[in-house]
Amino acid sequence: MELLVATGNAHKLAELAPLFPGHRLRRPADVGHPAFDVEEDGTTYVENALIKARALYALTGRPSLADDSGLAVHALGGAPGVISARYGSEDGRRKLDSAERNALLLGNCEAFEDRRCAFVCALALILDEERVFVIQETCPGELLRVPRGAGGFGYDPVVFLPELGKSVAELSQEEKNRVSHRGRAGRRMSCLLADLALAP
């Protein structure tokens, strides 16, 4: 099946593609919609994923997959949460790059002993107007005090996974797909698609 993915983020598409064997994942720009953009004004990851998937389906009429993800820091009450990509850029300020966001987050959490955090990913799939599927998964970890690793993107360098002894940015792509929030959600959604294909 061809799935349109509601993102312009090549990193996200590269992480999702191996999780959906037998399916072709394409961006809106690949099917003639390079300007596709949706305001993510939901208050939860699921709401934002559904907003994007529904907007893409309404535009194209094709099976549409959307991801909304972020980092939830326990000591910050779950922040930055759904505004993870816009953290520090509120009120019309210039959007920070990943290194600047990471530095801001670590600075805001410097005094906290509680370093618990979790990446969260919601995936929404719309096959048609009445067939809507949502999965949410997490990847728990600990917030580092200084970034580690050169891989991944976003907050990966500041999240440590104790069971692996590495930051997310130190994982190979195979390791990341196995343990990450997006990897877990993607595998479950892929299994769901396989089950649907077998259904009478």
The closest alpha carbon to 159, from 80, 58, 52, belongs to: 80
3-state helix, strand, coil in the chain (%, to 5): 40, 25, 35
Task: Let me know: does 69 contact 82? Beta carbons within 8 Å.
Answer: no
- The backbone torsions φ and ψ at residue 159, rounded to the nearest 5 degrees and listed phi first, read -115, 125
Task: Let me know: does 21 contact 190? Beta carbons within 8 Å.
Answer: yes
Which member of 30, 67, 68, 128 is catalytic? 68
> Is omega for the bond preceding 157 within 30 degrees of 0, making it cis?
no
Q: Helix, strand, or coil here: 75?
A: helix
68 assigned to active site: yes
DSSP calls for 148-186: --SSS-TTGGGEEETTTTEEGGGS-HHHHHHHSHHHHHH
The closest alpha carbon to 28, from 68, 66, 82, 83, belongs to: 66
Sheet holding 131-143, edge to edge: 24-26, 2-5, 64-73, 116-128, 131-143, 159-161, 166-167
Catalytic residues: 68
